[in-house]
Amino acid sequence: MTQAQQRKRINMILDKLSSAYPDARVGLDFENPLQLLVATMLSAQCTDERVNIVTKSLFKKYHSVRDYINVPQEELENDIRSTGFFRNKARNIKACCEVLLSKHNSEVPATMDELVQLPGVGRKTANCVLSNCYNIPGLTVDTHVIRISNLLGLVEDSDAVRIEFALMDVVEKERWNEFDLLIITHGRRTCIARRPKCAECVISDLCPSAQL
Ligand code: SF4
């Protein structure tokens, strides 16, 4: 399939998913870039639902980078314990906030280069912040995007960064943010890992992995 044909197929997939999921929204609750940055760091190896439960009280207690910096490490660990890997996450959040304070005037930067320099922040977290807080196109490659991009035959790979760059070639830039939102929603509701509901899937006619 040529790149033009692939783009056309992806546009058809996105149009159909957009109609199927008009209520698609980002899974993590947040009100500002710092909150999304922290929530995304907490979401590693954890469900969005669990993160939202934790951040509901966390964000009432911590309002600024200084709040995360000033709290004892152990107290922050306890506040995020149920998201798993809490020691590492607490360490990264505190270190990240130190850099935000010293280098970015306590603001979350709006460029990929600056974001990935922050402790504990990789391309996935950076893209999530850029696209959802600053409306800058970015492809957030999470477990759903990895799985479904392979099922749809858009990539044959398991490496998130390679997949991100491969998708950048075939998904139109103005649809990158929409692609993430819709594919992740599709992964949660229909194309569920190990038990995809192909019979109910609105893009089964465009999917080489459909089991009908
Ligand atoms: S047809 Fe099945 S495997 Fe393909 S995207 Fe739909 S649910 Fe997933």
Q: What is the pLDDT of residue 107?
A: 97
Positive or negative torsion for Cα 10, 15, 21, 26:
positive
**Which contiguous run of DSSP H or E holds residue 116?**
none
In the predicted model, is pLDDT for residue 1 greater than 90? no
Closest CA to 120 of 47, 38, 58, 28: 38
Q: Which amino acid is at 160?
A: A
Test site for ligand 1: of 9, 189, 203, most ligand atoms within 8 A of the Cβ: 203
pTM: 0.89
Ligand 1, pocket residues at CB < 6 Å: 151, 190-191, 196-198, 201, 203-204, 207, 209-210
Q: What is the pLDDT of residue 3?
A: 84
Q: What is the pLDDT of residue 22?
A: 95
Q: What is the pLDDT of residue 60?
A: 98
What integer best gives the mean pLDDT of the chain?
96
